[in-house]
Amino acid sequence: MSTDTTEGFVEVASLSDLEAEGRTLVSADGQAIALFHHEGEVYAVDNRCPHMGFPLTEGTVEDGILTCHWHHARFELEKGDTFDPWADDVQTFPVEVRDGAVHLDPDPEPTVPPETRWRNRLADGLQEDLTLVMAKAVIGLDDHGEGFQTPVETAVRFGTRYRNSGWGRGLTTLGCTATLYDHVGGRDKRRAIFTGVREVADDSAGEPPRFEQRAFESRSLSRERLLSWFRESIEVRDRAGAERCLLTGVATLPPDGVAELLFTAATDHLYMDAGHTLDFVNTAFEVLEHVGWEGHADAVLASTVPRLTGATRSEELSSWRQPIDIAELCFDAAELLPDLVAAGEGEDWERPEGFVETLLSEDPHAVIDALTEAIAAGATVEELSDSVARAATRRVAYFATNNEFRDWNTVHHTFTYANAVHRAASKTDATALYRGCFDGAMSVYRDRFLNTPRAPVPDPGESDRDPATIRRELLESFDEQGQVERAARLVSEHFDAGGDPTDMKRTLGRGLLREDAGFHTIQSVEAAFQRFDAVESDGERRLALLATARYMAAHFPTRRRNEQTFSIATRLHRGERLHESE
């Protein structure tokens, strides 16, 4: 009980009345404060339980512990520290007793800045996998101007340190939602970050921590030697050796050199882990664009090594060997790369009419021939991978709903892989990435039966309807199961009506972030937005958003339990009383 100053203190209660009642509710500066007389001392705390706002004057005090009667959160009475990490500490107020009256300071100086407190609470939420705590922390940080960088950086540090299996769906989801952040508006920005950090926590829960290796002491190793060592370590699945090579690369090479190490190893084998390996590596680089290379690259990139050493290699799968050995087609084409690249040196390639349709053909030899001829004609990795990504987009847009539901993921994997190869082309000029084009194109070929028959794609036309009405109907379509074709028609009509695509992306973002969307659905929307930004024609942009709308509609609605948590956190932040009848 503080008695060293009177500045800022206000009289709030009679000591004798408080002693008789044991507790009372007072108001100071517009806030409700609970006073307790316990063991001869007077204590003052915020009357709102920091967990979910229940009035603490309705709790009990025993042995210096205040217990809330709603969820039984417990607090040390003098300083407000909680026994239960899910509850948060309760605000306390300095108290003085003078002339039989209780005085308190309703606006004490915080012990730590609010943004520091919220960052610490986010760390608590990540450690204990507490979704409500994480939601509160994300909202609190955003309210203090740190709604993006701080939570993303905190989650990245946590996810790379406390998941021995390395980079997984949690950190990839965080990377996706960090990308979506700029495409959504209002509170959906907070929802995006909340989605990312909670997936990091969930993916790390129950995992042992990851102990990072050290870089080699030598700083004179050449780029070529590190590349050779790193690839050989991945080849024999030597996780520790590969990590030491990579960390040495991070310490001695520029970012594009490190990218060459990783993307070369990620394409030494075919379509590793159904495309996830290269996709995850690419997302790791994109996360570094958000949090910064310095101080993060070593932990972030080293965490991707288990994805490389532990991956399934598609040449080991019978589906890549029979009835046509498409794995051998990829390896044969890769052997030709030095001559093909040399032939195309100085040439400018323009995608021939019908090229993308050729990539959708039923003849894998024709597909590989089209790709190799394009390289010899001067096609860059970026140009060729863009064409493969266009073909992969069509596999999703044309996906026939008479297929098994799980086959949505088959075309999805091809789409996100092809998009990742295209994105990777901006990070390194490594010739090895052409191999990713071969792998992606063969995956497009393998998905051909999932477009039999092709789902109808709405033809461009005209509409005089209000684009806002169309967007509202799109959200409504996500409220009903199976509205795949309706969602596609509405996205197409929005283009026909002259609607702003930025508004459509915000609507798709809203539809995504209010759901308990799975990892693949979040990936799908991010990749669709990236494809939209990568292409220029109205038709290709329409197709990218239409494809992801179909995928979303197939997977919605969900229970929306995380939206309930986010809503609770938002209402508590506004000071609403959840315990009262609505």
> pLDDT tens per residue, the chain (582 residues)?
333 446 789 999 999 999 999 999 999 988 999 999 999 999 999 999 999 999 999 999 999 999 999 999 999 999 999 999 999 999 999 999 999 999 999 999 998 999 999 999 999 999 999 999 999 999 999 999 999 999 999 999 999 999 999 999 999 999 999 999 999 998 999 999 999 999 999 999 999 999 989 999 999 999 999 999 999 999 999 999 999 999 999 999 999 999 999 999 999 999 999 999 999 999 999 999 999 999 999 999 999 999 999 999 999 999 999 999 999 999 999 999 999 999 999 999 999 999 999 999 999 999 999 999 999 999 999 999 999 999 999 999 999 999 999 999 999 999 999 999 999 999 999 999 999 999 999 999 999 999 999 999 999 999 999 999 999 999 999 999 999 999 999 999 999 999 999 999 999 999 999 999 999 999 999 999 999 999 999 999 999 999 999 999 999 999 999 999 999 999 999 988 877 644
pLDDT value of position 578: 77
Instruction: Decide: residue 519, CB within 10 A, 0-12 exposed, 13-18 middle, 19+ buried.
Output: middle
Query: What pTM value is reported for the model?
Result: 0.94
For residue 280, give the nearest of 163, 169, 397, 440 by alpha carbon. Answer: 169
Please tell me the distance from the alpha carbon of residue 336 to that of residue 340, in angstroms, as a whole number.
6
Say what the alpha-carbon torsion angle 20, 25, 26, 31 is, to the nearest 10 degrees. Answer: 160
- What are residue 320's phi and psi, to 5 degrees? -95, 0
Q: Is residue 32 within a helix (H) or strand (E), and if so which, with residue range?
A: strand 31-38
Strands 41-46 and 65-67: unpaired
Q: Where do the H-state alpha helices sit in 321-459?
A: 326-335, 337-344, 355-359, 364-376, 381-397, 407-424, 433-446
**Amino acid making up residue 88:** D
534 touches 421 (CB < 8 A): no
pLDDT at position 577 is 82
Whole-number pLDDT of residue 504: 98
Residue type, 236: V
b/e map 210-238, b = 16+ CB within 10 Å: beebebbeeeebeeeebbebbbebbeeeb
Q: Whole-angstrom Cα distance, residue 245 to residue 238?
A: 11
Closest to 56 measured CA to CA, from 82, 89, 32, 34: 34
